[in-house]
Amino acid sequence: MNSANGNFVAAGASRGPVRAYFRDIWKTVHTILVGMRISLKYCFAKTITLQYPDVAPALQPRYRGFHFFEIEKCIACDMCAKACPVDCIYIEKTGPRKVDKNTGIATGGLMTRYAIDYAKCMFCALCVDPCPTECIHMGNLHDMSGYTRDDMIVEFTDLAKEGLQTPQPLWMQSEKPPAWAQQRKAEWEQYKHSRDQLTSDVNRRREEMAKAVAPEA
Ligand code: SF4
Ligand code: SF4
């Protein structure tokens, strides 16, 4: 009886791992099939050629494009640079910076450099979450070109001197970009994408950006 009972327990115990083994195989096959079904759907979908840049790119709202950066709120704490897995954010300052609670603007030392090397950036957004002042964001354009690797380094401090928070593709800087690009450009220049209460006064914003990178006259 004991012996028979013992055999029963051993057989029951051995069925568990075997069952788990086959369950894992089924799960693996099932998930591959689900993935392949989605891939196959796109394989046989009609191909559409988008006449970019004449036609706006069809990007999702959560698309992670070139950053936009609110330099006037940056306290140069390096948290974004430390979080970056490929070390492509370069920050230099003349002294500590602190956000004024009343204005939301950082004051103190100057931002002498805030640059991102887009030859290395993988648009993972890991730099965005740790920012204590929420001044670095993923933007809404994917387009940049250059002849050298150095052309891929965007100096946001230089952009700030021109009142810009995000780099613009060369074709967008022409006199007559397509209508959608003109609208996007205007949104950038009006800081429509900034997520705070400082946006209502564009001139003030430009002044604050200029103050962050150069001493007051
Ligand atoms: S998006 Fe990722 S790779 Fe690019 S700068 Fe931010 S953390 Fe670095
Ligand atoms: S962008 Fe944000 S995390 Fe990076 S240095 Fe400035 S305040 Fe710090």
CATH fold label, 65-213: Alpha-Beta Plaits (3.30.70)
User: Domain ranges in the chain?
Assistant: 1-47, 65-213
Note the pLDDT of residue 15. 73
**Where does the pLDDT of residue 6 fall: very low under 50, low under 70, confident under 90, or very high at 90 and above?**
very low
Measured CA angle at 16 (ends 12, 20), to 5 deg: 160
**Where does the pLDDT of residue 3 fall: very low under 50, low under 70, confident under 90, or very high at 90 and above?**
very low
Q: How far apart are CA 76 and CA 157, in angstroms?
A: 12
CB-ligand 1 contact for 121 (6 Å cutoff)? yes
Given a contact cutoff of 8 angstroms between Cβ atoms, the answer to whether 140 and 58 are in contact is no
pTM: 0.80
Note the pLDDT of residue 4. 45
Distance 49 CA to ligand 1 centre (A): 29
Amino acid at 77: C
Distance 39 CA to ligand 2 centre (A): 39
Is the pLDDT score of 186 beyond 70? yes
Note the pLDDT of residue 194. 76
